[in-house]
Amino acid sequence: MLYFSATLLFVVVAKKHRYRSIIFYRDYFQDFFIRQRDKVKDKIIWTLDLIEEIPQIPETYLKHIENTEGLYEIRIQVGSDIFRVFCFFDKGQLVVLANGFQKKDQKTPKKEIESALKIKKQYEDEKK
């Protein structure tokens, strides 16, 4: 009689829970992203993953823009370079990425905020 003993190997891949999804509206974000250095791209991807994966996002990474209705900025810093990507929520858990820029001054430029608000309105009008 032959006895066969087999050892089974289970590989468990931890699937991360996603608290929210991120989509890109038109090409606004992609146009910004492709112009960045690899190091900046890596940090942007890391930050977007963080936004999807943690239940409560610190203001260090996602902050509401004052005096706007539902406009947020994703905050990215690589060394002394500061970048912002505007976004807004749709259906509570879906983050829609709009335009991005490199921040040169302490205050976010008004024209960048106005541009993001136009994109947000355009998105909302298309959803009607």
Mean pLDDT by 10 residues, the chain (128 residues): 40 68 94 96 96 94 96 97 96 90 91 96 92
Report the pLDDT value the prediction gives residue 127, as an integer from 0 to 100: 87
Phi and psi angles of residue 39, each rounded to the nearest 5 degrees, phi first: -60, -40
Q: Facing residues of 76 across strands? A: 83
CA 24 – CA 56 distance, rounded (Å):
21
The pTM score is 0.85
What is the number of other CB atoms lying within 10 angstroms of the CB of residue 94? 13
Tokens 């940090």 belong to 43
